[in-house]
């Protein structure tokens, strides 16, 4: 039996989520861990999906960036509550190219671009006013000019080697479809709920 293409199935589910999920259908929980196994999870936004994986962007000096640099594996989870579905990915992480990061950064709003310069993401902040002043300083620095991408701001791609589709069923008799990458494509199976 030939396995279903899990990336094509994701595209179907994601298309439905974009129509039906009222809030942030592209929001995904990103789990990373330190080399000694200390986990961390946060919500990021899916900004690209191709045959080579799932893309998000961040400050590379953030906690997630540091954890990815030290342990280049991660997991993603989409939870589309209104659809009663979850989609999960695990796999190795790699940085996107500078050209990809530049192209995406150019699509962001100017304030989001300036915020990327102003934020020391994940580092302690003594007062909100400090961050706001940094933002104003960068507004002045880039006044009348395009905002370039900060050197420590880029994207990451998670290349899936494990994918799970979870569907809610009555009486907690849920359906879990598991796909595992093989040298020939994907193997497909089921998991007990």
Q: What angle do CA 102, 107, 108 make, to 5 degrees?
A: 100
Where in the chain does DSSP place strands (E)? 27-33, 39-45, 48-50, 53-59, 73-80, 85-95, 153-158, 162-167, 175-182, 185-191
Q: Contact 113/101 with Cβ under 8 angstroms?
A: no
95 burial type by CB count under 10 A (0-12 exposed, 13-18 middle, 19+ buried):
middle
Q: Contact 104/113 with Cβ under 8 angstroms?
A: no
161: DSSP letter? S
**How many DSSP H helices and E strands does the chain contain?**
5, 10
Q: Which of 84, 85, 172, 177 is catalytic?
A: 172
CA distances (Å), 115 to each of 123, 133, 135, 192, in order? 14, 11, 6, 44
Does the annotation mark 172 as catalytic?
yes
Catalytic residues, by residue number, are 172
């Amino acid at each position: 039996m030939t396995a279903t293409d899990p990336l094509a199935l994701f595209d179907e589910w994601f298309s439905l989520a974009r129509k039906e999920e009222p809030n942030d259908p592209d929001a995904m929980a990103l789990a990373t861990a330190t080399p000694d196994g200390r986990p961390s999870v946060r919500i990021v936004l899916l900004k690209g999906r191709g045959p080579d994986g799932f893309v998000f962007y961040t400050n590379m000096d953030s906690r997630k960036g540091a954890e990815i640099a030290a342990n280049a594996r991660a997991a993603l989870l989409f939870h589309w509550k209104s659809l009663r579905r979850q989609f999960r990915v695990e796999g190795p992480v790699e940085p996107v190219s500078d050209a990809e990061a530049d192209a995406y950064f150019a699509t962001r709003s100017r304030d989001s671009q300036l915020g990327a310069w102003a934020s020391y993401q994940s580092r302690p902040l003594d007062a909100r006013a400090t961050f706001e002043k940094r933002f104003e300083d960068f507004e002045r620095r880039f006044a009348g000019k395009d905002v370039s991408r900060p050197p420590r701001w880029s994207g990451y791609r998670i290349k899936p080697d494990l994918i799970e589709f979870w569907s809610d069923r009555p009486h907690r008799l849920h359906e879990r479809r598991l796909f595992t990458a093989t040298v020939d494509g994907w193997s497909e199976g089921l998991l007990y709920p």
